[in-house]
Amino acid sequence: MRFRHFGFPSPMAEELRATIGIVSAETRHIYVGELAETPLPEMLATIHRYRVPGMLEAQLGDAAKRVFIFDGDIIFASSTNRAESLGEVLVAAGQITVEQHRASALLLLEHPGKRHGQVLVDMGLLTETEMRAAVLEQVQRIVWSLFSVPEGRVTFTLGEERADEVYKLRIPTPRAVLHGCKTVGDAKRLIGRLGNKATVFTRPAAPEHLGGLDLEANEEQLLNLVDGRRTLFELCEKGPYSAALNARVLYGFQCLGLIRKERETASGIKVHVTSSQSGS
């Protein structure tokens, strides 16, 4: 199999080849990879860096989750898991009843060209504003859930913006990466990709594609601690969050290119991270 460049600059093709995998020239996939080898934050950061439009699909057993991206940012997400459908999310939140959900599903069958959200608005069950907020909540739940998935096949397919979506969203991918890293339950695998406790990081020039990224106050404080001298252990201990959460955010910084390894010792000792330390 050969890697297709799809007309993109060769540096992008080389990075995708190295970090995610080689794919068939007979498909529209830019790449295909395994979450066990390349975690989702790294995939999303690469896609955002090159502003590639398309669909990221994760096959997780019998379920498939899809994240739609335009100009590098997340605009929609869907899941074949029924519990993550818009109707089920609204029922669970108490915004509609089970009976109303059933009635809307029947109307949807009669009007296959419509989206479920629009049917619910037409029924007068939610306002446009309430529905937009509900769709955003549904999309975020699907996206955040993917960050904690340790393994599964992921493909990225070239494509354009979903023009048929009534409720268009835009979630900046860098913010999604940072938030998703913070919410990972068991982050040992991700933190291990930072190196060992003696690894030292530096701050390169701010990547041009991150010009619109606004860091939270604590994120900014942690980033400012990176000076080319402090070790990973020191950054985790001195940062504004718990040691575990500092490590998660530093991994997000590394994915986005805000920090990079300056040097790494041969020590095999890793920063100790427990899932119970995820809070700030």
What's the confidence (pLDDT) of residue 158?
Answer: 85
Below-70 pLDDT ranges, the chain: 1-29, 160-166, 264-280
Specify the DSSP element, H or E, that contains 77.
Answer: strand 73-79
Q: 31 with 21: CB under 8 angstroms? A: yes
pLDDT digits (tens, 9 = 90+) for 28-75: 557 788 998 999 999 999 999 988 789 999 998 888 999 999 989 999
86 vs 174: CA distance, rounded Å? 25
What's the confidence (pLDDT) of residue 62?
Answer: 86
What's the confidence (pLDDT) of residue 279?
Answer: 47
Tell me if the pTM is above 0.75: yes
What's the confidence (pLDDT) of residue 271?
Answer: 45
